[in-house]
Amino acid sequence: MAEHHTAAFVRTEILPEQAPPVSEAGIIRWMRENLFSGPLNTVLTFVGLFIIYFVLKEYSPWLRHSVWNAGSVGECRDIVTAKYGEGATGACWAIIRDRWNMFMFGFYPRELYWRPTLALGLLIFAAAPVLFSESRLIRMWVLGVVSVFLMVAFPGLDVPNGDTALLAVVLVGMLALAWMRPWSLLWLTAVYPGLAVWMLWGGSAWGPTLAMAGFVIGWLAWLATRSFGTILSVGAAVLAPVLWWLFGMAPVQALLDASLPAAIEGVRSEKFGGFVLAVTIGVAGIVLSLPMGVVLALARRSDMFLIKGLAVGFIEFIRGVPLISLLFVASLLLNYFLPPGTNFDIILRVIIMVTMFAAAYIAEVVRGGLAALPRGQYEAADSLGLDYWKAQRLIILPQALKISIPGIVSTFIGLFKDTTLVVFVGLLDPLKGITDSVRASFEWKGAYWEPYIFVGCIFFIFNFSMSRYSMYLERRLQRDHE
């Protein structure tokens, strides 16, 4: 105890906490660590700052002097000159405002704009039980925004108030379903393809209905022949709908059209344009190419020599040629390959080509996923006594597809970007087809940057949200604990 008293000074109370040195705290520390941690980093930071400064200096006046209301490029220039003096430049967004409908709908008849709009809205509702099944919060947010969008858009599209009210009732009903029993919306998902085709192209309701009925017929054929073994029932399930589409559908449709006409105003494919066209081709391609790609991937890994050979040949051929040459095949050569006199829709031809193109890439992505699965999974499935299809459906594909999600989604993004190439077979895509035809008018001659920036931004929003969604999906499906 005595030592205590011999010490000259002993601090008995703890010192009050002091703030860290200025250079080691807050923003300054952050800057020292992240911007100026060494000579090279300092130089890089200054280069980066210079680039930002340069871009802002060059382009921010142009953006700040934007004109939103004008009738022509000349008028835009006059407004900018009047406001900001001689020599000032300004963006002329009035072109987007003036030709908004053109960018969105192409030459689709004006009084029918509500149909593609509604089709797009219903697409989200149909996709919701598949895409956002896990989280009610996200689902309700997305669907709520879509509903509000539809309710705002409809009066603007000259839809009578009574119809808008009807739509409001339907939307509220579907929102309630999405809140309580999201899986019941799968009915909408099932009928959506036929519904969308009918709404976009119009014409007789029986065409899409009977085409969709083909799937029901296939299912019935499968049920009826199930007792004869898998292979016969699968064969019947494929053959019956094909026969129906080729031979049975046309007479039945003629009969029904004559006795129970149910047609709305038809819209020809040449009228399609702008984002309606891009989204139609993109969504159809995405929906069709995924199953086709999976089947191709399975075929490529098959033990059967011929099946494998055909799959490899198809995939390598499609991947080896540019999409544009396939589009030329669709527009120029299909007339040679099909029986004389057949002349089917150009958008459908393009969708088929785009689908085949994307499917070949997806097949390669999925093949990578299948190859990445440990062999033990295959062996475990075999040892459980599962047959090939059960093993694929219950064990292999769920895991392989999960691994393949990033690759599949980037293929989808590529597909959506590639829809712009349809301009080269004479369709009015939003990027070049519509922009060129807008710029061909007298008023908007010489407006170069604004349409490109606008269309680019929309593509960016679509694709960026797709890539973010794939990240969300990966997180959601993650089952290992890291």
Partner 1 sequence: MAIATEPPKQGFRLSQLLYDTRYRSMTIQVVVMMMFMAFAAWLVDNTITNLAARGKDFNFGFLSVRSGYDIGQRLIAYDSDSTHARAMLVGLLNTLLVSFLGCLLAVAVGVTVGILRLSKNWLVARLMTIYVEVFRNVPVLLWILIFLAVLTEAAPLPNAFKEGGSASMLLFDSIAVTNRYTAVPDPLFSRSLGNIDIGIFLISSDLMALIAVVVAGWYARRLVLRRATAVQNATGERPVTWWKSVALLTLPAVLTLWALGFHLGYPSLQGFNFTGGINVSNAFMALWLALSLYTGAFIAEIVRAGVMAISNGQTEAAYALGLRPGRTMNLVILPQALRVIIPPLISQFLNLTKNSSLAIATGYLDLRGTLGGITLNQTGRELESVLLMMLIYLVLSLMISGVMNIYNASVKLKER
The residues binding partner 1 (CB under 8 A) are 33-35, 37, 41, 44-45, 47-49, 51-52, 229, 231-232, 303-307, 310, 316-317, 319-325, 328-329, 332-333, 335-340, 413, 417-418, 420-421, 423-424, 431-432, 448-449, 452, 455-456, 459-460, 463-464, 467
Q: Please report how close the Cβ of residue 218 comes to partner 1 at its closest, in angstroms.
A: 17
- Give whichever of 329 and 348 is closer to partner 1, judged by the CB atom: 329
Q: Please report how close the Cβ of residue 405 comes to partner 1 at its closest, in angstroms.
A: 16
- Give whichever of 299 and 347 is closer to partner 1, judged by the CB atom: 299
- Give whichever of 209 and 410 is closer to partner 1, judged by the CB atom: 410
- Give whichever of 6 and 342 is closer to partner 1, judged by the CB atom: 342
Which residues, in sequence order, are CB contacts of 292 under 8 Å at separation 6+?
Answer: 355, 356, 359, 362
- Give whichever of 161 and 342 is closer to partner 1, judged by the CB atom: 342
Q: Please report how close the Cβ of residue 463 comes to partner 1 at its closest, in angstroms.
A: 4
Q: Please report how close the Cβ of residue 246 comes to partner 1 at its closest, in angstroms.
A: 13
Q: Please report how close the Cβ of residue 269 comes to partner 1 at its closest, in angstroms.
A: 21
Query: How many residues does this entry show for the chain?
Result: 482
- Give whichever of 23 and 89 is closer to partner 1, judged by the CB atom: 89
Q: Please report how close the Cβ of residue 48 comes to partner 1 at its closest, in angstroms.
A: 4
- Give whichever of 202 and 407 is closer to partner 1, judged by the CB atom: 407
- Give whichever of 160 and 229 is closer to partner 1, judged by the CB atom: 229
CB 96 within 8 A of CB 452: no
CB 273 within 8 A of CB 104: no
Q: Please report how close the Cβ of residue 424 comes to partner 1 at its closest, in angstroms.
A: 6
The whole-angstrom separation of Cα 292 and Cα 33 is 50
- Give whichever of 390 and 432 is closer to partner 1, judged by the CB atom: 432
Q: Please report how close the Cβ of residue 194 comes to partner 1 at its closest, in angstroms.
A: 27
Q: Please report how close the Cβ of residue 286 comes to partner 1 at its closest, in angstroms.
A: 16
- Give whichever of 108 and 416 is closer to partner 1, judged by the CB atom: 416
Q: Please report how close the Cβ of residue 322 comes to partner 1 at its closest, in angstroms.
A: 4
Q: What is the 3-state secondary structure (H, E, C) of the chain?
A: CCHHHHCCCCCCCCCCCCCCCHHHCHHHHHHHHHCCCCHHHHHHHHHHHHHHHHHHHHHHHHHHCCECCCCCHHHHHHHHHHHHCCCCCCCECHHHHHCHHHHHHCCCCHHHCHHHHHHHHHHHHHHHHHHCCCCHHHHHHHHHHHHHHHHHHHHHCCCCHHHHHHHHHHHHHHHHHHHHCHHHHHHHHHHHHHHHHHHHHCEECHHHHHHHHHHHHHHHHHHHHHHHCHHHHHHHHHHHHHHHHHHHHHHHHHHHHHHCCCEECCCCHHHCEHHHHHHHHHHHHHHHHHHHHHHHHHHHCCCCHHHHHHHHHHHHHHHHCCHHHHHHHHHHHHHHHCCCCCCCCHHHHHHHHHHHHHHHHHHHHHHHHHHHCCHHHHHHHHHCCCCHHHHHHHHHHHHHHHHHHHHHHHHHHHHHHHHHHHHHHCCECHHHHHHHHHHCCCCCCCCCHHHHHHHHHHHHHHHHHHHHHHHHHHHHHCCCCC
